[in-house]
């Protein structure tokens, strides 16, 4: 490297630090499975096998904490079983809330920083990269972790519930996120914050905005940018509940993780919404019955998960009935033109076998009707600024690393940062 190069990088450095000090602070809110999660076993832990009692996926620290999500070894079947058991949630009807598997404690590392969102396994950065390319792009336009850039990881197995129902974990996350927003704004001269979510993170953000008064939103929120948000759920989620989802890895036997996936409260939140998918249109077809988004309770019962019916009806359905416009400016950036499960056909052997899938338009995971839901529902709302940016051929997660998508996202962030727009509420 010659002197010329050194001068250029010096010039760049001064440019970025200058821009950095002036830029609107930004908080990243990941999607389901998009951050690391740690666990430890306590005396009350009674695994189904002795093997699972002794096996740990990753190195354990002296207090017994180890990385539960994600470690590559869990993809091998004897380990998958232990992993699934530790990840499992339970709905407790007396508490009317979800809790961990008995004897398992969990925690989210490094709240506030982007550290636990970059890679799911810090020892296998290349193959488990999640938000690393996105964070790199943000740093190139001047963002600095811990100063102007923050991360809000959370225990993505938990969701939120309709008013009147407790949801201890999800509510705690909303409170932590609220505190982080205030801190980020206060430490940046009172500049309101840009929220940038991926997938499920967008559903949490919308709830946070609507659970806080307009005066708070006006003071603290500059703009909400939602990437790949499944506003109305996905047909893919019915697939996961019925037959298990191999985490996208052919090695994983889907039935080994099915019970754990069914137990996740946030997965239940992502069932297709009848208002958007229609109460009549068949999404799952078997020799015995057809199920539309309006038949989810019967569907849960028939796939052999009757425990899900009550929490779905009482906690989830009323939560998803309305997607309330928060008044703060919103941009949705979504992939399109990728084959996405739209109808599932099961044969004589029932739900333990993988279905035949008919595909439609979407981002590979989320159906178009769900990605574009806000446009459909908020089109006549005078106080709601909404911009939708579709990007063809980009999938649900490649939006976080595809060059064209990252350019589009950075252009939108810079536009927002420099604009004089503010909340209409
Ligand atoms: C962000 O906006 C401010 C004005 O609010 C401007 O001074 C700054 O240069 C912008 N940053 C970038 C990286 O464009
Ligand atoms: C259909 O019903 C039969 C008889 O009750 C049952 O054995 C089979 O598993 C069912 N199939 C599905 C896909 O529900
Ligand atoms: C829109 O904003 C105005 C004031 O700016 C307010 O009076 C009105 O109630 C708002 N409408 C809706 C639908 O939120």
Residue 7 pLDDT > 80: no
Q: Which atom of ligand 2 is nearest to the CA of 350?
A: 13
pLDDT tens profile 305-317: 999 999 999 999 9
Lowest mean pLDDT among 10-14, 108-112, 323-327: 10-14
For 34-54, what is the mean pLDDT? 87
- φ, ψ dihedrals at 81, nearest 5°: -60, -45
Q: Whose C-alpha lies nearest to ligand 1, atom 4?
A: 418
| Shortest-distance ligand to the CA of residue 353 | 2
Domains of the chain: 3-15+23-31+115-418 (3.40.50.1820)
* pLDDT for residue 15: 45
Phi, psi at residue 341, to the nearest 5°?
-55, 130
Which position has the higher pLDDT, 422 or 153?
153
Distance in Å, CA 22 to ligand 1 centroid: 6
| Ligand 1 lined by 18 (C-beta under 6 Å) | no
Nearest residue by C-alpha to atom 14 in ligand 1: 414
Ligand positioned closest to the Cα atom of 385: 3
Q: Whose CA is nearest to atom 2 of ligand 1?
A: 418
Any ligand 1 atom below 6 A from CB of 22: yes
CA–CA separation, 300 and 108 (whole Å): 30
Hey, how many other C-beta atoms are within 10 angstroms of the C-beta on 370?
25
Q: How confident is the model at residue 48 (pLDDT cuts 50, 70, 90)?
A: confident
Of the pLDDT bands very low, low, confident and very high (cuts 50, 70, 90), residue 71 is: confident
Ligand nearest the Cα of residue 299 is: 2
Ligand nearest to the CA of 218: 3
**β-pair type (356-360, 340-345):** antiparallel
Give, using CA atoms, the residue closest to atom 12 of ligand 1.
19
pTM here? 0.92
pLDDT band at 58 (very low <50, low <70, confident <90, very high): low
What pLDDT score does 74 carry?
Answer: 78
Q: What is the CA(411)–ligand 1 centre distance, in A?
A: 12
For range 92-120, the mean pLDDT: 95
pLDDT tens column, 278-296:
989 999 999 999 999 999 9
* Cβ of residue 350 lying under 6 Å from some atom of ligand 2: yes
The answer to whether 170 and 201 are in contact (CB under 8 A) is: no
CA-nearest residue for atom 7, ligand 1, is 22
Average pLDDT over residues 378-402: 96
Instruction: Using the predicted structure, report yes or no on whether residue 1 has a pLDDT greater than 80.
Output: no
Q: Which residue bears the tokens 């609220």?
A: 178
Over its C-alpha atoms, the chain yields an Rg (Å, rounded) of: 22
Regarding the beta carbon of 229 and ligand 1, being less than 6 Å apart is answered no
CA 25 / ligand 1 centre spacing (Å): 11
Q: Which residues are catalytic?
A: 199, 363, 396
Q: Give pLDDT, residue 251.
A: 64
Q: Kind of pairing, strands 149-151 and 26-29?
A: parallel
Average pLDDT over residues 100-124: 93
Q: Which atom of ligand 1 is nearest to the CA of 142?
A: 13
Task: Give the mean model confidence (pLDDT) for residues 180-185.
Answer: 98
Q: What is the DSSP letter of 222?
A: E
**Percent composition of the chain: helix, strand, coil (DSSP 3-state, to 5):** 40, 20, 40
Atom of ligand 1 minimally distant from the CA of 141 = 13
The reply to whether ligand 2 has any atom less than 6 angstroms from the CB of 304 is no
Per-residue pLDDT tens for 222-270? 999 999 999 999 999 999 999 998 766 666 788 888 999 999 999 999 9
Q: Give per-residue pLDDT as tens, 133-147.
A: 999 999 999 999 999
Question: Is any ligand 2 atom within 6 A of the Cβ of residue 288?
Answer: yes
Confidence bin at 60 (pLDDT 50/70/90): confident
């Amino acid at each position: 490297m010659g002197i010329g190069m050194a001068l250029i990088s010096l010039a760049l450095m001064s440019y970025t630090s200058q821009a950095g000090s002036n830029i609107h602070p930004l908080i990243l809110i990941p999607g389901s499975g998009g951050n690391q999660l740690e666990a430890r076993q306590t005396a009350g832990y009674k695994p189904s096998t002795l093997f699972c009692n002794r096996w740990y996926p990753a190195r354990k620290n002296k207090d017994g904490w180890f990385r539960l999500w994600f470690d590559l070894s869990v993809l091998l079947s004897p380990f998958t079983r232990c992993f699934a058991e530790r990840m499992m949630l339970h709905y407790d009807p007396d508490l009317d809330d979800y809790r961990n598997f008995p004897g398992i404690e969990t925690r989210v590392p490094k709240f506030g920083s982007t550290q636990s969102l970059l890679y799911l396994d810090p020892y296998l950065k290349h193959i488990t990269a999640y938000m690393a390319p996105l964070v790199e792009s943000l740093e190139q336009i001047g963002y600095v972790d811990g100063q102007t850039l923050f991360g809000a990881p959370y225990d993505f197995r938990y969701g939120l519930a309709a008013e009147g129902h407790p949801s201890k974990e999800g509510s705690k996350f909303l409170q932590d996120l609220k505190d982080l927003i205030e801190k980020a704004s206060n430490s940046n001269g009172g500049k309101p914050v840009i929220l940038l979510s991926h997938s499920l993170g967008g559903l949490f953000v919308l709830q946070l905005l609507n659970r806080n008064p307009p005066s708070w939103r006006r003071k603290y929120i500059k703009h909400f940018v939602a990437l790949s948000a499944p506003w109305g759920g996905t047909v893919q989620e019915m697939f996961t509940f019925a037959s298990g989802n191999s985490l996208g890895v052919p090695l994983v036997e889907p039935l080994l993780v099915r019970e754990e996936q069914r137990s996740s409260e946030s997965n239940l939140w992502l069932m297709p919404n009848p208002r958007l998918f229609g109460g009549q249109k068949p999404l799952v077809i078997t020799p015995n019955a057809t199920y539309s988004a309006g038949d989810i309770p019967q569907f849960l019962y028939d796939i052999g998960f009757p425990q899900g019916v009550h929490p779905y009806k009482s906690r989830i359905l009323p939560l998803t009935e309305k997607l309330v416009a928060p008044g703060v400016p919103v941009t949705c950036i979504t992939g399109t033109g990728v084959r996405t499960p739209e109808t599932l056909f099961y044969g004589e052997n029932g739900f333990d076998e993988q279905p035949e899938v008919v595909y439609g338009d979407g981002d590979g995971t989320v159906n178009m009707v769900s990605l574009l839901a806000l446009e459909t529902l908020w089109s006549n709302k005078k106080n709601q600024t909404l911009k939708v940016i579709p990007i063809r051929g980009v999938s649900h997660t490649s939006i976080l690393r595809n060059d064209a998508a990252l350019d589009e996202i950075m252009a939108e962030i810079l536009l927002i940062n420099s604009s004089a727009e503010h909340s209409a509420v």
